[in-house]
Structure 1
Amino acid sequence: MGNWVINHGLSALVIVVWLGINIFLFVYYYMLYEYNPEYYYTRKIIGSALAWARAPAACLNFNCLLILLPVCRNLLSFLRGSCSCCRCSARKQLDKNITFHKLVAYMIALHTAIHIVAHLFNFEWFNNSQQSTEETLDAVLSNIDNKWLNPIRSDHTNPNYVAFTTIAGLSGVIITLALILMITSSTDTIRRSYFEVFWFTHHLFVIFFAGLVIHGVGRIVRHQTEVSILEHDFLYCENHTVEWGKVHECPIPSFEGGAPMTWKWVLGPMILYVCERLIRLYRSQQRVVITKTIVHPSRVLQLQMQMKGFKMEVGQYIFINCPSISQLEWHPFTLTSAPEEDYFTVHIRSAGDWTDAIFKTFGEDKDEGLKQMQPRIAVDGPFGTASEDVFHYEVSVLIGAGIGVTPFASVLKSIWYKYQNSDAGLRTKKIYFFWICRETEAFEWFADLLRSLESNMEQLGKPDFLNYKLFLTGWDSAQATHIKVHFDKETDVVTGLKQKTHYGRPNWDKEFYSIAQAHPRTTIGVFLCGPQPLAKALEQCTNKYSEINPLGVHFHFNKENF
């Protein structure tokens, strides 16, 4: 349990606090509308459905305040920079922004469903009271004309008509449809295969928030005014409806609608998000110059670019758009250059329709250098990720799978520059680097960087600073024979590096045990850029080999999320 707390304790606390606030708001507003004297007569018509409608509405306000914040990438990057003095576990929460965004969306869907069902009962009971011919209390309340209580003013209508003709009803229908489309189109299948469907439907949030703001303008949830409560004793008068307006003790009660409150909750986040989009729009219009393109094996394209005012940190990522391929699609790519360089680079592996098109556009004529007429590229970013925290640990474990090695290219390059400039202030004393690939060709573009770093660290007298292991998970019989024949060579036959390539998948238990034994009483950062199954295996190891003792070895797990 203690090991789990190290990696997930703060995340669990955030979720518990969030759920606690939701529960508190629900219970508080349920009790308010269920027992507040102002709503006594309202409850006589619609009963507890009033409280069941208003309690989730309060929770909707709170969650709609939160829903936009996790997708404000510039805000998150600013917070990450502002929290640089905080512990890594605190900054790590910012990397779970999309997960939290989804949780809030599910909570909104839940409270929306409760709110809708309750109001359907409300409309039905309001309508029944209006059409009643008996002299019951709810019928009398429904026929008060001046400062009315029942929003259904005619006995020649039905709940469906009211739902589609009132401001609250019509805006509620629009909000619900927008929410359904946004949630259903956000599944991984649609988002990855039909990105433009996801993009268009997700931007229905503009209609969603506009509907939220005007939803309460009609003020259909009404209550007895304070003056009326003082003049009209409902506990006495409810049993003497025939005397209403005839005796001093029972004047005809007056009612008023509650002021719209949702706009007060969502106005701030909406302004923040508008600023976010304006910043993105401004960046997307900046001129990006592609200074070099290189085609690597395994259909990996390297783009080297320059943009005025571009500043980055290690491990950050950018979004790239190519209008000639798709006006709407923005794809995230980790920066593989170092902050010390006067350009920035990304490595793009051809693995889908958009990346295939980018590869064909910029990588077809490899031997011709840069083309004379290149399509325009737009860049948004850079944005912070977990890899920024690599230098906050004395020992860091970097694990990349396939093209997932890209954030660590930036880290390793930056280390080389820092040591070249005799930067003795570097806190990191040891780096373990693991790279897992299926094909030998995938090693080639990154091996040059490793060879250079290996050579430079030896010259600086720090040959043990970087401990790297490359794992090849796929090979054919011809490759196996060639490897066997040249096994005794001083350098590896696949990469040309001094450390030999390993074949098969890593034994993570063995690796973590070895690292834990080598660095007792140390907090070790584990950074992964790879698939979810690998993340689960590594997360289990970080929990297993972290000690409960505060002075023992602790592994902090971090995963790249875009």
Structure 2
Amino acid sequence: SDFRPTITYWLFQTVTGITAILLVVTVCIIFIFAHPLIRLKAYKYFWLTHNLYVALYILCLIHGLARLTGPPRFWYFFIVPAIIYVLDKVTSLQTKFVELDILETELLPSDVTKIKFTRPPNFKYLSGQWVRLTCTGLRRKEYHSFTLTSAPHENFLSVHVKAQGPWTWKLRNYFDPSNVRKEEMPKIRLEGPFGGGNQDWYEFEVAVMIGGGIGVTPYASILNDLVFGTSTNRYSGVACKKVYFLWICPSHRHFEWFIDVLRDVEKKDVTNVLEIHIFITQFFHKFDLRTIMLYICENHFQRISNSSMFTGLKAINHFGRPDMINLLKYIRKKYGHVNKIGVFSCGPTALTKSITTAIETVNNARILPRFIHRFENF
């Protein structure tokens, strides 16, 4: 015919045009609500809008049906990921557990809430792995990811939840003893466990573990598992023979609950497989007289009592951030007989980047052992 289609026709009167507009709108919504600030402050809206991926793929499949530029081809690219996705969903049904009883809750300093709950039958996991869980006392379908802080040999499961966003604050307030509740104790719904970057520590004869901020939570499980296995000869066949653990925190009071974990670990470490160093970053400049006096007092107290005057631990306290390059060089010199050393870190992105840079610098010397970095960002 003599009809000359306009841009309005192509956009709003064809299947290709309409689906294209809807695709752009869908992608924009998902992108905007995936912003870290929204995920932190309004996780519910992030989760709801992220489920639009279903509509996204349906629209992609419909988009080429009008055959304006040729037969539809998107399904070529969609079919393999779709099969993998379905298989993953079927597999995840086996790791989805019914409601579990809460055994104990405790409000810890620094806005951390400890939740201890029953372990499902035949629930197997490795230290350092994580789960997705929800509390029936809050939104039942809103799941959040947390690292398990209980060790695999224990007959219960536990997580330590740092109150940072709306859901975690509601969880803390829900279990606050000052808030009188007439309803019964809620339950925990669980999915998992899932793999984490820190779970392969036992594959290395020497390992360096670094926890920063709330990123110390995987090591509550790993260190407990390590000393239990080595002290009972349970891990006699495991490669790991020495672990250096570095805890980087603003001050002890920010994560007092973890000091209790370290105290228990030190008591169980009869084979001295573990060496702990604590780095306090929220102090004055390293040349400030107050910092120097604290360092001298701590050093003297450590020598005469073999424990820290701040924590009561055998772990050595340092003021400032660790010099990762010199530390890695020292470990490489001490363990020159091994081929590779595992470096595991969990914490803020800035911590991960600084460790990665230090490892690349040391590895550039092309001297064995090589350092292999595996990490998780919190």
What band does the TM-score fall into relative to the shorter chain? 0.7 to 0.9
Identical amino acids, percent of aligned pairs: 31
Determine the structure 2 residue equivalent to 1:291.
103
TM-score, normalising length: structure 2: 0.86
Match of 1:364 among 177, 189, 204: 177
2:360 aligned with 1:543: yes
**Residue 548 (structure 1) shift:** 5.2
Alignment of 1:236-255 (within 5 A): none
Distance 2:201 2:35 in 1: 32
User: What SS class does the counterpart of residue 524 from structure 1 fall into?
Assistant: strand
Larger Rg: 1
**Residue 448 (structure 1) shift:** 3.3
**Residue 543 (structure 1) shift:** 1.0
**Residue 388 (structure 1) shift:** 1.2
Cα shift readout 1:502-552 (whole Å, capped 9, x = no counterpart):
222222233222112111243111111111111111111111112554x61
Determine the structure 2 residue equivalent to 1:211.
59
Distance 1:561 1:505 in 2: 18
Determine the structure 2 residue equivalent to 1:517.
333
Count of paired positions: 366
Determine the structure 1 residue equivalent to 2:156.
343
Unpaired segments ≥5 residues, structure 2 = 285-289
Q: 1:293·1:363 contact (CA, 8 Å) conserved in 2?
A: no
Q: 1:288·1:377 contact (CA, 8 Å) conserved in 2?
A: yes
Q: Return closer, same or farther for 1:194/1:448 CA change in 2, 3 Å cut-off.
A: closer
Q: Return closer, same or farther for 1:475/1:292 CA change in 2, 3 Å cut-off.
A: farther
Determine the structure 1 residue equivalent to 2:372.
556
Distance 2:253 2:182 in 1: 26
Cα shift readout 1:130-184 (whole Å, capped 9, x = no counterpart):
64xxxxxxxxxxxxxxxxxxxxxxx164332233222222222222221222223
Determine the structure 2 residue equivalent to 1:14.
none
**Residue 363 (structure 1) shift:** 4.1
Alignment of 1:477-492 (within 5 A): 484=297, 487-488=300-301, 490=305, 491-492=307-308
Q: 2:342·2:371 contact (CA, 8 Å) conserved in 1?
A: yes
2:233 aligned with 1:422: yes
Alignment of 1:34-433 (within 5 A): 131=2, 155=3, 157-221=5-69, 258=71, 260-277=72-89, 286-309=98-121, 310-327=123-140, 329-364=142-177, 373-423=184-234, 424-433=236-245
Q: Return closer, same or farther for 1:561/1:271 CA change in 2, 3 Å cut-off.
A: farther
Distance 1:439 1:181 in 2: 40
Distance 2:377 2:281 in 1: 24
Query: What amino acid is aligned across from residue 302 of structure 1 in structure 2?
Result: K
- The Cα RMSD (Å) is 3.1
Q: Return closer, same or farther for 1:524/1:360 CA change in 2, 3 Å cut-off.
A: same
**Residue 271 (structure 1) shift:** 4.0
Q: 2:102·2:118 contact (CA, 8 Å) conserved in 1?
A: yes
Query: What amino acid is aligned across from residue 419 of structure 1 in structure 2?
Result: T
Q: 2:40·2:165 contact (CA, 8 Å) conserved in 1?
A: no
Q: 1:300·1:350 contact (CA, 8 Å) conserved in 2?
A: yes
Q: Return closer, same or farther for 1:338/1:185 CA change in 2, 3 Å cut-off.
A: same
Q: Return closer, same or farther for 1:211/1:499 CA change in 2, 3 Å cut-off.
A: closer
Distance 1:356 1:192 in 2: 11
Distance 1:482 1:290 in 2: 43
TM-score, normalising length: structure 1: 0.59
Which structure's residues are more often strand, by fraction? Answer: 2
**Residue 357 (structure 1) shift:** 1.4
Query: What amino acid is aligned across from residue 542 of structure 1 in structure 2?
Result: I
Query: What amino acid is aligned across from residue 387 of structure 1 in structure 2?
Result: N
Query: What amino acid is aligned across from residue 349 of structure 1 in structure 2?
Result: K
Which structure's residues are more often helix, by fraction? Answer: 1
